Amino acid sequence: MPGGDSDHVRPTGAIDPPPGALYRVGSATREGDGAMNTAIRLTGYATTLALVFGAAWGIGSAAGPAVAPAGAATTGAGGTGHGATSPDGHAHGTGSEPSLGLASTQAGYTFVPENTSFEVGRTAEFAFRITGSDGDPVTEFDVEHDKELHLVVIRRDAAGFQHLHPTLGPDGVWRTPLTLPGGGVWRAYADFVPTGGPALTLGTDLFVPGGFVPFTHALSRVAEVDGYQVRLDGALTTDGPARVFATISRDGAPVTDLEPYLGAFGHLVALRQGDLAYLHVHPDAAMPAPTDRSGPGIAFTAEIPSAGGYRLFLDFSHGGTVHTAEFTVSAPEGTQR
């Protein structure tokens, strides 16, 4: 079957309970139709992220503003993430129209799936096209973060995160194997930059018949994944850019040899709870060489469009394996834009 590589088809430390069973991983109550990881993303509103190293591992939430420790490798707050202008000049959306993944068509481009129905837990090919204003498939894309297109799939309750990289065929059709482990409505996001066009995130719904029990995500700034401890410090605010950063430890020792993954030391994915508005942002730092190492901190400066709940997901690579730490935070009311 033709298809692309998948980075997060299954979460690390996944559990396969009997069908219909409920199980708990981290702070989320989950429906047991297969392994599920959770992710969210939010794009637009000139959101930027900047790389700063965090403090050593600790328990609890951040107290006061985050402070970059000595040795932090940063390049300012310009932001290389989607939703902000990246080093190559691309920005998500055009003008005052941010690209939040809430629509399947924007700026003359359309996300056109060839199939939208899947069976619970059964791997099938997901095929789709990105068409231009003339209705023809777009076949030329800029490489962003080592790939021409990033595909994120998540259930409507912000559960079941998958980050995939489909393969583009000569017929203009993108293809990748896809397994959806629970019933319900899922959201698929195509994150791409058509050559000569704006950076966009387009979304479409996918459907899986079967029982659906929504997950409940408790507020949490501490994640345990595959033996790693990850703490998120700093507070999101609607008053302007806010610094947040993650500190990664393993068995109580700081991890100082994080590996590059898709051209960065960490990838932050955030989803606004409720409408699943989407953001994909990377640290604001020079692209590391394959042999470069970093850690224990991966930090960001983020600007959010509104108060409310946010799910944050951090991808990092260590020991040749990509791990995903998930958090749920609340952004208080501030001076709205």
What DSSP string describes 84-146?
B--TTS--BSBTTB---S--SEETTEEEEES--B--TT--EEEEEEEE-TTSSBP--B--BTT
Q: Is residue 169 scored above 50 in pLDDT?
A: yes
User: For residues 71 and 296, what is the distance between their CA atoms, to the nearest angstrom?
Assistant: 11
Average pLDDT, the chain: 75
How high is the pLDDT of residue 146?
87
Query: Could you read off the pLDDT of 218-260 as tens digits, one per residue?
Result: 999 999 999 999 999 988 888 877 788 889 999 999 999 999 9
How high is the pLDDT of residue 224?
95
Query: Could you read off the pLDDT of 115-141 as tens digits, one per residue?
Result: 999 999 999 999 999 999 999 999 999
Report how far apart, in Å, the C-alpha atoms of 37 and of each of 10, 28, 29, 155, 326 are: 7, 9, 11, 10, 9
Report residue 281's pLDDT band, with 50, 70 and 90 as the boundaries: low
Q: 31-51 as b/e, with b when 16 or more CB fall inside 10 Å?
A: bbbbbbbbbbbbbbbbbbbbb
The encoded tokens of residue 292 equal 């470069």
Contact present, 337 and 239 (Cβ < 8 Å) = no
User: For residues 310 and 63, what is the distance between their CA atoms, to the nearest angstrom?
Assistant: 19
For 5-9+35-40+88-208, which CATH class? mainly beta
User: For residues 188 and 166, what is the distance between their CA atoms, to the nearest angstrom?
Assistant: 12
pTM of the complete model: 0.72
How high is the pLDDT of residue 168?
98
Report residue 334's pLDDT band, with 50, 70 and 90 as the boundaries: low
Q: Is residue 104 scored above 60 in pLDDT?
A: yes
How high is the pLDDT of residue 1?
45
Contact present, 70 and 63 (Cβ < 8 Å) = no
Q: Is residue 21 scored above 60 in pLDDT?
A: no
* Amino acid symbol at 128: F
Q: How many CA atoms, within 13 angstroms, populate the side-chain half-sphere of residue 111?
A: 27
How high is the pLDDT of residue 92?
59
**Who contacts 277 (Cβ-Cβ below 8 Å, separation ≥6)?**
42, 43, 44, 100, 101, 102, 271, 305
Which segments of 235-279 does DSSP mark as H helices, in order?
Answer: none
Mean pLDDT, residues 199-226: 94
